[in-house]
Amino acid sequence: MSSKPVSLKVLAAHLGLTVGTVSRALNGYADISPATRKRVQTAAKELGYRPNQNARRLSIGSPETVGYLMPRLNHSGSQPFIAQLLQGLGEALGKRHWDLLVTHADSSQDELAHIERLVRSGRVGGLVISRPLKNDPRIRLLQDLKFPFVVHGRTASCDNYAWYDVDGEDAFVTAVNHLVALGHSRIAFVGAPLQHQFAQDRLNGYQTAIKANGLPLDPDLIQIAEFSDDGGEMATNLLLDFAQPPTAVVCISDTVALGALAALRARGLRPGIDVSVIGYDGLKFGNHSNPPLTTMAQPQAHAGRRLGDMLLAIIDGDDPAMHQELQRAQLLRRKTDGPLHCAKAQQDISKREEIQ
């Protein structure tokens, strides 16, 4: 950077005014005559004056910046929405000329230390965190610090803080009901480790719907696997090895569902005909899977913007508990769901009815 940025001082010298006057002129104070204000403004534009944000923020006592804590990308499932989320956050913050700082902890161990450092260093005035655990220590820490934050997702007890989430429980109720309406009764669930609340929510939805439909809750049909396509494939293989394999599988994510499809195809089973599969997320990519994946599509479009607006409102003093937004996912039928009609499955149904 060669040409040093023009500071308030040189602008003032150039105008024959003091820095204080120039500052007030640019910031719209009433005790500046319209004439000089105009003069200052044009001079500022000519010289390309931009206030040094570090100085400004130090002075006004606000960092005018919020931080986003990137989730660790070990599990490949979290990548698709980050770009959209950041874009939305950026839009919301941009309206007030706030900045977006993106950070990630080096390891999950020192994530708390990372947050505390971030907060106390005054670099950010608020924080956005993603994918909370059931009982997330980050949330407790931020509450203890009384620091403004919003959560993309929810914990088990979701009171007293702001969050934006898609109702995973409701989504899986919808998915299961849909499969039941298609005639399925042996419906399996392929999930992910339950430390994340979203995994628990979706499992809850599955269980609720199974019971509500008067179906037996077979523990064999609940498989907790790695949150990836490989995990979905392995879990589905286990399911298919049972004496009475399921005729339908709901998967915790589209990525996992793709693994399930792979397992089915490897055995010559036709997804959507022999075994139905429903995913969750609504990724565009599901259009191109083999066959195209039926899924519960979540409205990811303005999650970022909503979270940004919430956070700014909270920083302005709003009660965080006021800002809790639950969206619903919608069934997006493509080609992996279909009516029960293979002979073997019919057998299973009749057996179940005898037992009842």
- Binding residues for a copy of itself, rule: CB under 8 A, are 1-3, 5, 48-55, 57-58, 63, 65, 68, 70, 73, 76, 78-80, 82-84, 86-87, 90, 94, 99-104, 106, 116-117, 119-123, 145-148, 229, 258, 261-262, 284-285, 287-291
Reduced to 3 states (helix: H, G, I; strand: E, B; else coil), residue 1 is coil
User: Is 55 or 266 the residue whose CB approaches DNA more closely?
Assistant: 55
How many Å apart are CA 8 and CA 178, to the nearest integer? 65
By the rule CB under 7 A, 275 interacts with DNA: no
68 or 172: CB nearest a copy of itself: 68
Asked if 311 contacts 128 with a C-beta cutoff of 8 angstroms, the reply is yes
Contact 296/258 with Cβ under 8 angstroms?
A: no
Task: Report what 34 binds from DNA, a copy of itself, none; CB cut-off 5-8 Å by kind.
Answer: DNA
Task: Choose among a copy of itself, DNA, none what residue 27 binds, the Cβ cut-off being 5 to 8 Å by kind.
Answer: DNA
Helix/strand/coil (H, E, C) string of 21-87? HHHHHHCCCCCCCHHHHHHHHHHHHHHCCCCCHHHHHHHHCCCCEEEEECCCCCCHHHHHHHHHHHH
Task: Rule CB under 7 A: choose which of 13, 20, 79, 212 binds DNA.
Answer: 20
Beta carbon of residue 110, minimum distance to DNA (angstroms, whole number): 22
Residue of 283, 285, 282, 295 whose CA lies nearest to 336: 295
Interacting residues with DNA between 48 and 67 (CB under 7 A): 49, 51-52, 55-56, 58-61
H or E stretch covering 128:
strand 126-130
Q: Which residues, at least 6 apart from 108, have a Cβ–Cβ distance to it below 8 Å? A: 72
Smaller CB distance to a copy of itself: residue 41 or 208? 41
Q: Does a cis peptide bond (omega within 30 degrees of 0) precede residue 148?
A: no
Half-sphere exposure of 4 (CA within 13 A, CB side): 6
Distance of closest approach, residue 251 Cβ to a copy of itself, in angstroms: 13
Residues 29-48 within binding reach of DNA (CB under 7 A):
29, 31-37
36 binds, among a copy of itself, DNA, none (CB under 5 to 8 A by kind): DNA
List contacts with DNA (CB under 7 A): 5, 7-9, 16-21, 23-27, 29, 31-37, 49, 51-52, 55-56, 58-61
